[in-house]
Chain A
Amino acid sequence: MSGIRAPQLPEAAIRARARDATAAAFPDLTEYGHSLFGATPGPPSGDELDLARIVPPVFMPRRLERMFDLGREPLPGDAVLGCEIGGFQAPLPVFLCAFGSTQVAGRGLGVDASEQAGRLGIPMVIGENVVPMHGYGRTADDPPPDGGLLGRIRAYADAVPDGLGGVVVQQSTEDADAEVWNLVYSDPFATRLLDSGRLAFELKVGQGAKPGLGGMTVMSRGAAAAVSEQYAMDEAFGRDTGMVLRCSSPGTFTEEILRQQVHLMRNNYPRARVWVKLHPGRDVGHAAEVAWAAGADAVTVDGAEGGTGWAPSVFLEQVGLPLAECLRRVGKHDASLLVSGRVWEGSRALKCLAMGASAVGLGRAALIAVDEDAADGLVRLVRCLELELRLLLSALGKYDIHEVTEDDLWFPGKEESR
């Protein structure tokens, strides 16, 4: 444990899952036979997705269909969670979000998280500025302390089962200087990923926690000097402190610029998948359409609840569409829509899927889980989420994750449609 914290998430519950796996999906086992359980009283709190409830029906024609297949009553274990995520196969609709170059992500957690994501067979995104900030890790005489981009890819690739998962490498406007994609695409090590169709590049247009802003990290003056040619530095913390704020430009996008950048990615990297990450802008639906029409394999939307290593407080509190509204504006789509923002357990995941997402990303929760247990924390967290998805899905009388719809949800205060 390195002592990272995530006060906006139920950190204790996440750490419990990282330790105890599926046991943590239930109340304390020692209470069994002694206590009686029920819902916590009082008004629920949280965002719109938290407030929504999952509402199983009484009549379940799909369960009957499944029973025809099986010749017996279906059980939660019969639910099919396997799916496609942005061109990759995954055992469940979950992927590992990008951690950027922040100190939190740089403490070796990146490599441990990568190894566990690989073991789980879920796609993994590697953050935009890992290469400029932490290096690539190609030359043996200069290994970055956290393994660099290559260290993360290697940890993942060594663990991932055949036919599952994939690695997604982000690049933002200012990383273009470091040519992250060219570097990876021409690297001998990427060959095994390319040959098995398990490499994607993600164009980072923006992120949830600070829509309209570029990446930010707090750096020591020494470290800042080393990258001062690539990034602007801001004396936000005063000249008498040892720290400066590194600010990236988010890059300028118009409809045409986004379209052409996607075209160029497809043109230049024909064997890699193309992902586009959008911030929760008010035109997120339109932007997603443009990206898909240009040929993106997946659009990732980071809700305003999304986590980050550093952002101005005003952005955390006041800027950007909440995830539920993003989902509503994008709508259900044939192409992959991937979302993230405070997902850590099964119910929020299922709600996102019901509202049109193809998969959900684990960000801060994954980091905390790996921080709790570097060897298995993330695996346990995901096993727990998987169990909850199976239970919820079968409770809805559905046995394929693709079948969930908004009918399976109830939003307090909204007119019931039937």
Chain B
Amino acid sequence: MTADVTEARSGALSLTGTTTLPAATTLPRVPSFGEVVAAHRAAGRLVVQPRMGFADPARMRQGLLATRDARAATVGTITLDSYTRVGDHDAVTRALAAGADLNGYPLVDADPVATARMLADVLTPAFPVQVRHGSADPRRIVRTLLRQGLHATEGGPVSYCLPYSRMPLVTAVEHWRQSCELLAAAREHGSEPHLETFGGCMMGQLCPPALLVALSVLEGMFFRQHGLRCISFSYAQQTHPGQDEEAVAALRRLIRRYVPDVRSHVVIYTYMGVYPRTPGGARGLLAASARLAVRTGASRLIVKTSAEAHRIPTVAENVAALEHAAVAARHADLGDPPMDTGVHAQARALIDNVLALDDDLGRALTVAFARGHLDVPFCLHPDNAGRARGYLDHDGRLQWQRIGAMPLGGLVAVPATEPMTSAGLLDALQHVQRTYDAQHSVNSTGTWESRMTITPLDSRISAGQRPPGTRAHLTSPVTQAALRIQNSVLAGSREYLSTLGFQEMMPPIIGPVTDPGVRGAKQIDVDFYGHRYKLMTSVILYKQASLLAFDKIFYVAPNVRLEPLETAGTGRHLAEFTQIDVEVADASREDILDLLQGLLRHIVRHVLRESKADLAALGRDPDVFEALLREEFERISHPDAVAHLRRLQHLQSTDSEIDWEGERLISEQTDRPFFIVGYPKGSRGFTDGESSTEPGVLRNFDLIAPDGFGELCSGGERTYEYRRLIERMRETGENPAKYTWYLDLAREGLRPSAGFGLGLERVTRYLAGLDAAWQANAFPKLPGIVSP
């Protein structure tokens, strides 16, 4: 270390009045990060590195020492916390003052002396430490790390902007230009600074490898343009070992071509998507990534631990992962050279295209994204075109489903039909997790875990149809987009109904009785001071009663129905769900159909306006709602619907509800929602009013969404006269004795009314184009599947 740097550090430290310094001043020139890795490679050792970051300096130090002492060739990692990543230094300061825990080391705001002590004796010539951060503006981070005698970090103008930040790309490019120059300038004071591209890890998942390779190379070229001479190029393990090997081979070829004059190596990241949940599965995936590194001549591996799927791993878990990866690397065979399926050609086409746009690589990258010449699938950043899509083919390889404006025309065979639906997407996201967990299935010792799975259902619902774990579900971009759209649905509904003078009421949750008119679903009993009460299956009885207070009311009401297990796979049934429950006094069915049509149109307009980006991210084309907004919803009678289904060779019974399969079939035949009116008595509960002119026909309806989305809503005119209620109760097998409070009201007079219950998750599913209603629920409960 030279005197200048020592001075710089002394200067920083003197602010605190401290004069004792780490012994680094006495060290000879420190080898660069790249040189250390190269030395290990020359000795046939794969360098393994954790993703480790702790807020507490003592613990961070312990982690670094444990990494250094692990039985493996290692380099150290300091991962910074999320506040530092986004530049919210006030929040870091507050958290530090409050003694709150951070999810990484707050390098910039930490007491420099504490950091210096943390690093004292940790850094050795053979054990460099890299700072990992994820920031689109790493200038302060770079300044701080240099002051602390560190000289290796990672990231990139694209890879740390698009996925993680809302910062405009052009701004991030400028920040990264300055950061590169800061870093490069440190060369004059000591060892060669090192920068690693994160471009080969974009988004973590479902990005076809050619784009990852191209971004990794382009970011490396950007680093080089701004002065760096020691660069590593990343590639994250994806879904198919053969394809990964091909991609890394392409990456190395392209590095030789475009960045031949710097010290470089390739770093592999263990899979960054939904991680296996079983310890065996996690270890298997880690070993596969080590194998990938060895086979492709990569020099370094960033590992994940088996705890990754559940929480931030401990030091011991990190060390175990490092040692496991090292062992796997030692035992990896070289295998056959990978097949060329065109990854190299695609990546090269992408790179050449960018290079042709502008001599300044920063400007070229900005223009390329603006024009969609680079387009990262499933990336919601405003500067990303979002027209490209990836999918998983039968073999588990990542392929292009759509290439948008990327110059891949002659190089990619895009499938004629869109193979990726949102269930397909989820399925794809879980592909690796499932594959490795299945290979390493373990006997669960936790009884809760083993009870989670109900055998007959497992075979009935494919993995893609069932929710992933809570964390994976909540952190999935699909869930987040769906929930934002749902928010829009609710806001739109409230806006529309309140404009029409509706009173919103808070829903009751329990009562002595609830809606019995639910096909084959069991109610949940609750003990109410020794009396059997029910959780609401719907608030219908309370809606009727509420009209004693107001003419027009609605509830946003939760319902719980233990539906038959066969409904778990319909994509439409949840055991716990929410309805927008509307009731209007003195209304006819026809009034209600008009109201519902108006409401749904309003919701659709609202969502199209407010949730544009989310719809686009989910691949939902706004044009599908054109007919809904333009044309009246058709009203067909139940007998006509039955006749129609029979023409479609579906054996629908004339005196029953349209069955689930029938509903799907009929729903596939149309381009806009429609009503089926007048169900036969015997298909619905007693609250559905019978026609006074057509005995046996109910004055009710269902609203069916097009394209197979099926029923969204049921409603109709209600039974409200006391004698008719008693008769209808008996016809539906009910014991009137249970309904005392309700019958007492009816005896003195309930108001005639009509209304409906619109399924919130179902509407969201339809608007968002989801495969299943559970995707529109943060904590979905599918019939028979035990879940939080």
- Residue numbers of A with Cβ under 8 A of B are 171, 173-174, 176-177, 179, 181-183, 185-186, 188, 191-192, 194-195, 203, 229, 249, 251-254, 256-257, 259-271, 295
A contact patch SS: helix
**1/0 per position for B281-306, CB-CB distance to A under 8 A?**
00000000000000000000000000
B733 touches A173 (CB 8 A): yes
> Nearest chain-A residue to B522 (Cβ)?
A182
A271 touches B566 (CB 8 A): yes
B659 touches A256 (CB 8 A): no
Q: Which B residues from 649 to 685 make CB contacts under 8 A with A?
A: 653, 655-657, 659, 680-683
Whether B580 is near chain A, meaning CB under 8 Å from some CB there, is no
B457 touches A188 (CB 8 A): yes
Q: In angstroms, how far is the closest chain B Cβ from the Cβ of A262? A: 8
Q: In angstroms, how far is the closest chain A Cβ from the Cβ of B786? A: 10
Measured between beta carbons, the chain B residues less than 8 angstroms from A251 are: 730, 735
Measured between beta carbons, the chain B residues less than 8 angstroms from A174 are: 735
A186 touches B562 (CB 8 A): yes
> Nearest chain-B residue to A190 (Cβ)?
B565
B456 touches A195 (CB 8 A): yes
B456 touches A188 (CB 8 A): yes
B683 touches A185 (CB 8 A): no
Q: In angstroms, how far is the closest chain A Cβ from the Cβ of B515? A: 12
Q: With A251-B730, A261-B732, A271-B566 known to touch, is A186 a contact of B783 (CB < 8 Å)? A: yes
State the CA gap A395–B565 with chains docked (Å).
50
State the CA gap A160–B532 with chains docked (Å).
36
Q: With A260-B682, A263-B681 known to touch, is A185 a contact of B520 (CB < 8 Å)? A: yes
A203 touches B733 (CB 8 A): yes
A229 touches B532 (CB 8 A): yes
**1/0 per position for B530-568, CB-CB distance to A under 8 A?**
011000000000000000000000000000001111100
Between B456, B653, B655, B733, the greatest number of chain A beta carbons within 10 A of the residue's beta carbon is seen for B733
Measured between beta carbons, the chain A residues less than 8 angstroms from B566 are: 194, 271
A177 touches B735 (CB 8 A): yes
Whether B188 is near chain A, meaning CB under 8 Å from some CB there, is no
What are 14 residue pairs bridging A and B, where the CB atoms are less than 8 Å apart in the complex? A177-B532, A179-B522, A186-B521, A186-B562, A186-B783, A195-B456, A229-B531, A229-B532, A251-B730, A256-B727, A260-B682, A264-B733, A266-B656, A267-B683
Whether B731 is near chain A, meaning CB under 8 Å from some CB there, is yes
B531 touches A263 (CB 8 A): no
State the CA gap A173–B562 with chains docked (Å).
21
Q: In angstroms, how far is the closest chain B Cβ from the Cβ of A242? A: 23
B657 touches A267 (CB 8 A): yes
State the CA gap A188–B738 with chains docked (Å).
28
**1/0 per position for B714-728, CB-CB distance to A under 8 A?**
000000000000010
Q: With A229-B531, A266-B656 known to touch, is A259 a contact of B565 (CB < 8 Å)? A: no
A264 touches B732 (CB 8 A): yes
Between B680, B730, B784, the greatest number of chain A beta carbons within 10 A of the residue's beta carbon is seen for B730
Measured between beta carbons, the chain B residues less than 8 angstroms from A262 are: 682
B730 touches A252 (CB 8 A): yes
Q: In angstroms, how far is the closest chain A Cβ from the Cβ of B526? A: 14
Q: With A182-B562, A188-B784 known to touch, is A267 a contact of B731 (CB < 8 Å)? A: no
**1/0 per position for B229-256, CB-CB distance to A under 8 A?**
0000000000000000000000000000
Known A177-B735, A195-B456; further 9 A-B contacts with Cβ < 8 A: A186-B563, A191-B456, A192-B456, A256-B727, A257-B727, A264-B682, A264-B733, A267-B683, A270-B659
Measured between beta carbons, the chain A residues less than 8 angstroms from B454 are: 188
Q: In angstroms, how far is the closest chain A Cβ from the Cβ of B458? A: 11
State the CA gap A182–B520 with chains docked (Å).
5
State the CA gap A183–B523 with chains docked (Å).
8
Measured between beta carbons, the chain A residues less than 8 angstroms from B563 are: 186
Q: In angstroms, how far is the closest chain A Cβ from the Cβ of B115? A: 55
Q: With A229-B532, A260-B732 known to touch, is A268 a contact of B519 (CB < 8 Å)? A: yes
State the CA gap A192–B657 with chains docked (Å).
24
Measured between beta carbons, the chain B residues less than 8 angstroms from A191 are: 456-457, 565
Q: In angstroms, how far is the closest chain A Cβ from the Cβ of B510? A: 16
State the CA gap A259–B733 with chains docked (Å).
11
Measured between beta carbons, the chain A residues less than 8 angstroms from B522 are: 179, 182-183, 185-186
Measured between beta carbons, the chain A residues less than 8 angstroms from B457 are: 188, 191
User: How many residues of B are in contact with the other chain, CB < 8 A?
Assistant: 36
State the CA gap A183–B561 with chains docked (Å).
11
Measured between beta carbons, the chain B residues less than 8 angstroms from A203 are: 733
**1/0 per position for B733-746, CB-CB distance to A under 8 A?**
11100100000000
Measured between beta carbons, the chain A residues less than 8 angstroms from B521 are: 182, 186
Q: Which B residues from 447 to 463 make CB contacts under 8 A with A?
A: 454-457
Measured between beta carbons, the chain B residues less than 8 angstroms from A270 are: 656, 659
B532 touches A264 (CB 8 A): no
Between B655, B681, B682, the greatest number of chain A beta carbons within 10 A of the residue's beta carbon is seen for B682
> Nearest chain-B residue to A176 (Cβ)?
B735
Measured between beta carbons, the chain A residues less than 8 angstroms from B735 are: 173-174, 176-177, 249, 251
Q: In angstroms, how far is the closest chain B Cβ from the Cβ of A138? A: 11
A269 touches B731 (CB 8 A): no
B564 touches A260 (CB 8 A): no
Measured between beta carbons, the chain B residues less than 8 angstroms from A173 are: 733, 735
A188 touches B565 (CB 8 A): yes
A185 touches B733 (CB 8 A): no
A263 touches B682 (CB 8 A): yes
A263 touches B456 (CB 8 A): no
Q: In angstroms, how far is the closest chain B Cβ from the Cβ of A265? A: 8
A267 touches B656 (CB 8 A): yes
Measured between beta carbons, the chain B residues less than 8 angstroms from A267 are: 519, 655-657, 682-683
Measured between beta carbons, the chain B residues less than 8 angstroms from A252 are: 730
Measured between beta carbons, the chain B residues less than 8 angstroms from A260 are: 681-682, 731-732
The residue from B455, B520, B532 contacting A268, defined by CB atoms under 8 A apart: B520
Measured between beta carbons, the chain A residues less than 8 angstroms from B564 are: 185-186
> Nearest chain-B residue to A195 (Cβ)?
B456
Between A171, A191, A265, A267, the greatest number of chain B beta carbons within 10 A of the residue's beta carbon is seen for A267
Measured between beta carbons, the chain B residues less than 8 angstroms from A261 are: 730-733
State the CA gap A400–B564 with chains docked (Å).
39
> Nearest chain-A residue to B519 (Cβ)?
A268
What 9 A-B pairs have minimum CB-CB distances, sorted nearest first? Answer: A263-B682, A260-B731, A182-B522, A191-B456, A267-B656, A268-B520, A257-B730, A267-B683, A186-B522
State the CA gap A183–B521 with chains docked (Å).
8
The residue from A171, A182, A188 contacting B523, defined by CB atoms under 8 A apart: A182
State the CA gap A211–B563 with chains docked (Å).
35
Q: In angstroms, how far is the closest chain A Cβ from the Cβ of B279? A: 28
A269 touches B520 (CB 8 A): yes
Q: In angstroms, how far is the closest chain B Cβ from the Cβ of A190? A: 8
Measured between beta carbons, the chain B residues less than 8 angstroms from A259 are: 682
> Nearest chain-A residue to B738 (Cβ)?
A177
Measured between beta carbons, the chain A residues less than 8 angstroms from B734 are: 176
State the CA gap A181–B731 with chains docked (Å).
16
The residue from A186, A229, A263 contacting B683, defined by CB atoms under 8 A apart: A263
Measured between beta carbons, the chain A residues less than 8 angstroms from B455 are: 188
State the CA gap A267–B455 with chains docked (Å).
27
Q: In angstroms, how far is the closest chain A Cβ from the Cβ of B652? A: 11
> Nearest chain-B residue to A180 (Cβ)?
B522
Q: In angstroms, how far is the closest chain B Cβ from the Cβ of A203? A: 7
> Nearest chain-A residue to B530 (Cβ)?
A229
Q: With A186-B521, A186-B562 known to touch, is A266 a contact of B653 (CB < 8 Å)? A: yes
State the CA gap A266–B677 with chains docked (Å).
20
Q: Which B residues from 113 to 163 make CB contacts under 8 A with A?
A: none
> Nearest chain-B residue to A194 (Cβ)?
B566
State the CA gap A150–B727 with chains docked (Å).
33
State the CA gap A253–B783 with chains docked (Å).
34
Q: In angstroms, how far is the closest chain B Cβ from the Cβ of A273? A: 14
Q: In angstroms, how far is the closest chain A Cβ from the Cβ of B241? A: 38
Measured between beta carbons, the chain A residues less than 8 angstroms from B659 are: 270
Between A186, A254, A261, the greatest number of chain B beta carbons within 10 A of the residue's beta carbon is seen for A186
State the CA gap A198–B609 with chains docked (Å).
52
> Nearest chain-B residue to A261 (Cβ)?
B733
Measured between beta carbons, the chain B residues less than 8 angstroms from A265 are: 733
